[in-house]
Amino acid sequence: MTGRIFLKLIAGVFCLLLLALVTVDYFATNVAKDNYIQNLTGQLADKGRMLALSLGAEETPDAQQVRRMAQAAGGRITVIHADGKVLVDSEADAAGMENHRTRPELVQAFRGGMGSDVRQSATIGVSFLYVAVPVAGGQSAIRIAFPLAEINRQVSRIRGKILVSTALAFLPAILIAAMLARFISRRFATIMAHAGELARGNFRARLAETDSSEFGQLAQTLNETAENLQQTVAQLQHEHAELEKLERIRKDFVINVSHELRTPLASIQGYTETLIDGALADPAYNMRFLGIIRHNAERLARLTEDLLTLSRVEQKRQKFEFETHLANALIHDAFEMMRPIAEKNRLELIEERAPEDTVVCCDSEAVSQILSNLMENAIKYTPAGGRISVGALAQGAMVEFFVRDTGIGIPEEDLPRLFERFYRVDKARSRELGGTGLGLSIVKHLVAAHQGVMRVESRVPGGSTFAFTLPVNHATLGQGTLNPEFTAS
Ligand SMILES: Nc1ncnc2c1ncn2[C@@H]1O[C@H](COP(=O)(O)OP(=O)(O)O)[C@@H](O)[C@H]1O
Ligand SMILES: [Mg+2]
């Protein structure tokens, strides 16, 4: 393709030069010929005038003398009387020649001055340049004829020289044109190779030469196109990955929910059938089996309740009533609510009060759920004799609440996934303790709805601290955007 462009360019330039050469030849030849004839006419007229002087005033010049003159002048000489009669001719017999009165050069010469004409001789049939001047005050005229073939030979010589020198001048033009054509076709080749890369989907490819020429601008445009395509593809890939991730999370969730529901349901079904099949009448088993059935029913109820809460909060269907509350009042309510369970588990529950005037703007129901979920976890995962503290600290426009325990702690590798739905460090232990694995997920969404952030610190062994922030007033609540950490899962 680029080879063809090269050939076309070269052929185009060659045709142009050829045309120029033909034009130059045509005009230069004409100009040279005209010029030559003009000069020669002048010269022949001068010679004619000098010969006229030497002829003197004789009526009929001597034929011998005229022939010698013709030899010296290098042409044919004719002397003609004013009435057109040829008096003497250097090459023909004057007596046999027709009347020359109407010959254009003689008409002009007898009118005074000099006359000239180019035509074929009627006498000897060869083309001549005729130049005539009057002799002896216009009694007669002397005419010198110069063969046109000689003139043409001279002109051809000049023409040859012009053609050769013009052709020589065109050589560098052809060379420059070839170099230009090569340059253009090479750049075309580079750009086409690049376009091929783009067509094959390699949007990383870039053209290096982006100067201000048309090629440079084309390269620049192609680079920008590649850049745009690269970005669009990256964006689409990113969106695709996000969608895949969401789809995976959705599938996982469905699988997890089914799994979580199946175990207690299977247990209920199994024990109910055993009871119907006769165990109901057996006092050794009936109460125990009914106890198991109740336990599993409670588990199902907790699970469905947590799932409903989670879906309400996640889909932002939960209505919140944001009002100003004293931080200590919120802590105290939760403290009182959890105290019996903590005491039952032989845990020390400590209330770390914030400065008395510390307020937060929140939905008290939601905060109560956050605190109770965190405290429930702290109680569940802290062995008897441990200590659990709940409190708050003012931090500018936010107040940070915390629940700290001296429990089993959480391994560092589990921390990043802790807030995912159904994620549990020890599944069996969580189930045994009545956990659903949804508590922290609910907490994270409730905190996010308040524009708050969550933080976990934990050591194994040593204990964990779960902390979350709440805004001090409505303005902060309105300004914030959802914490991105909580929007993905
Ligand atoms: N205070 C804590 N100490 C140790 N582990 C905890 C604590 N709080 C949460 N965890 C871990 O995080 C997991 C998820 O908690 P959560 O979502 O409340 O589920 P659940 O309590 O129902 O198991 C728990 O299973 C437990 O492994
Ligand atoms: Mg929990």
pLDDT of residue 487: 32
Query: What separation in Å is there between the alpha carbon of 430 and the centre of ligand 2?
Result: 8
Residue of 438, 115, 175 whose CA lies nearest to 306: 438
Cβ 340 vs Cβ 298: under 8 Å: no
pLDDT of residue 365: 92
For CATH 3.30.565.10, the residue range(s) in the chain are: 319-486
For residues 141 and 130, what is the distance between their CA atoms, to the nearest angstrom? 12
Q: Which residues line ligand 1 (CB under 6 A)?
A: 377-378, 381, 405, 407-408, 410, 418, 424-426, 430, 435-440, 464
pLDDT of residue 369: 94
Ligand nearest to C-alpha 378: 1
DSSP, res 419: T
Which residue's CA is the closest to the ligand 1 atom numbered 14?
Answer: 424
Ligand 1 atom index nearest CA of 378: 1
Average pLDDT over residues 280-285: 84
Query: What separation in Å is there between the alpha carbon of 432 and the centre of ligand 1?
Result: 12
Q: Encode pLDDT of 96-117 as tens digits.
A: 888 988 999 999 998 878 999 9
Query: What separation in Å is there between the alpha carbon of 442 and the centre of ligand 2?
Result: 9
Q: How confident is the model at residue 402 (pLDDT cuts 50, 70, 90)?
A: very high
Label residue 171 left, alpha or beta by phi (over 0 means left) and psi (-120 to 50 means alpha): alpha
What fold, for 204-317?
A: Helix Hairpins (1.10.287)
Which residue's CA is the closest to the ligand 1 atom numbered 10?
Answer: 377
Q: Are strands 348-352 and 387-395 parallel, antiparallel or unpaired?
A: parallel
For residues 325 and 358, what is the distance between their CA atoms, to the nearest angstrom? 9
Ligand nearest to C-alpha 431: 1
DSSP, res 56: T
pLDDT of residue 479: 46
Does residue 461 have a cis peptide bond before it, meaning omega lies within 30 degrees of 0?
yes
Cβ 399 vs Cβ 328: under 8 Å: no
Give DSSP secondary structure letters for 421-460: TT--SSHHHHHHTT--S-HHHHHHHHHHHTT--EEEEEET
Q: Which two tokens stand for residue 92?
A: 């023909």
Query: What separation in Å is there between the alpha carbon of 424 and the centre of ligand 1?
Result: 6
Average pLDDT over residues 329-354: 94
Query: What separation in Å is there between the alpha carbon of 377 and the centre of ligand 1?
Result: 6
* Neighbouring residues of 288: CB distance < 8 A, sequence distance ≥ 6: none
Q: Is the pLDDT of residue 59 over 70?
A: no
Share of the chain above pLDDT 70, in %: 96
Q: Is the pLDDT of residue 32 over 80?
A: yes
Share of the chain above pLDDT 90, in %: 41
Query: What separation in Å is there between the alpha carbon of 291 and the centre of ligand 1?
Result: 26
Query: What separation in Å is there between the alpha carbon of 210 and the centre of ligand 2?
Result: 62
For CATH 1.10.287.130, the residue range(s) in the chain are: 204-317
Q: Encode pLDDT of 117-171 as tens digits.
A: 988 877 777 888 999 999 877 888 999 999 888 888 888 888 888 888 888 888 8
Residue with tokens 């922030």: 469
Ligand 1 atom index nearest CA of 407: 3
Q: Encode pLDDT of 414-445 as tens digits.
A: 999 999 988 999 888 888 888 889 999 999 99
Average pLDDT over residues 21-33: 87
pLDDT of residue 240: 96
Residue of 403, 438, 405 whose CA lies nearest to 422: 438
Ligand 1 atom index nearest CA of 427: 25
pLDDT of residue 486: 35
Residue among 305, 338, 422, 440 to mutate when testing ligand 1 (max atoms within 8 A of CB): 440
Taking the alpha carbons at both ends of the chain, their separation in whole angstroms is 55
Ligand 1 atom index nearest CA of 441: 17
Give DSSP secondary structure letters for 353-368: PPPTT-EEEE-HHHHH
Average pLDDT over residues 300-310: 92
CATH architecture, domain defined by 319-486: 2-Layer Sandwich (3.30)
Q: How confident is the model at residue 92 (pLDDT cuts 50, 70, 90)?
A: confident
pLDDT of residue 158: 83
Neighbours of ion ligand 2 (CB under 5 A): 377, 435, 439
Segment (H or E) for 389: strand 387-395
Select the more confidently predicted residue: 483 or 365.
365
Cβ 486 vs Cβ 316: under 8 Å: no
For CATH 3.30.450.20, the residue range(s) in the chain are: 2-154
Query: What separation in Å is there between the alpha carbon of 349 and the centre of ligand 2?
Result: 18
User: In CATH, which superfamily holds the domain spanning 2-154?
Assistant: PAS domain (3.30.450.20)
Ligand 1 atom index nearest CA of 408: 4
pLDDT of residue 474: 73
